[in-house]
Amino acid sequence: MKKTYSKHMIHLFLLPALVFYVGFMIYPIASALLNSFFEWNGFLRGDFVWFKNFIRLFTESPFQETFFNALEHNVVFFIVLIPAKLMVAYALALVLHGKLKGKEFYKTVFFLPKLLSVIVVGYLFSLILNPSYGALNTALDAVGLDSWTRPWLGSPATALLSIIFIDSWYEFGFAVLIFLVGLQSISSEIYEAAKIDRATGLTLLFRITIPLSMPSIMIMTILTFISAFESFELVYAMEGTSGGPYYSTDVLALFFYRLMFGSAGGGESIGLGSALAVVLLFLISGATAISMGFFKRKEVDY
Q: Which residues bind another protein (CB under 8 A)?
A: 24-25, 27-29, 31-32, 35, 42-45, 61-62, 130-133, 150-156, 215-216, 218-219, 222-223, 226-227, 230, 240, 242, 244-247, 253, 256-270, 272-274, 277-278, 280-281, 284-285, 288, 292
Q: How far is the CB of 102 from another protein (least distance, A)?
A: 30
Q: How far is the CB of 107 from another protein (least distance, A)?
A: 21
Give the residue with the Cβ less far from another protein, 113 or 151: 151
- CA dihedral sign, ordered 105, 111, 115, 118: positive
Q: How far is the CB of 227 from another protein (least distance, A)?
A: 8
Q: How far is the CB of 81 from another protein (least distance, A)?
A: 15
Q: For helices 63-81 and 52-59, what crossing angle results, to 10°?
A: 70
Dmax of the chain from CA atoms? 86
Give Cα 223 to chain centroid, integer Å.
Answer: 6
Which residues are CB-neighbours of 249 under 8 A, at least 6 positions away?
Answer: 73, 159, 160, 163, 235, 238, 239, 243
Burial bucket for residue 288 (CB in 10 Å: 0-12, 13-18, 19+): middle
Give the residue with the Cβ less far from another protein, 200 or 285: 285
Give the residue with the Cβ less far from another protein, 117 or 200: 117
Cα separation of the two ends of the chain:
47
Give the residue with the Cβ less far from another protein, 110 or 255: 255
> Could you give the count of Cα atoms lying within 13 Å of 73 in the half-sphere of its Cβ?
29
Give the residue with the Cβ less far from another protein, 82 or 204: 82
Give Cα 182 to chain centroid, integer Å.
Answer: 20
Which residues are CB-neighbours of 74 under 8 A, at least 6 positions away?
Answer: 228, 229, 231, 251, 252
Q: How far is the CB of 82 from another protein (least distance, A)?
A: 18
Q: How many CB atoms lie within 10 A of CB 71?
A: 18
Q: How far is the CB of 22 from another protein (least distance, A)?
A: 11
Give the residue with the Cβ less far from another protein, 170 or 256: 256
Give the residue with the Cβ less far from another protein, 41 or 111: 41
Q: How far is the CB of 99 from another protein (least distance, A)?
A: 27
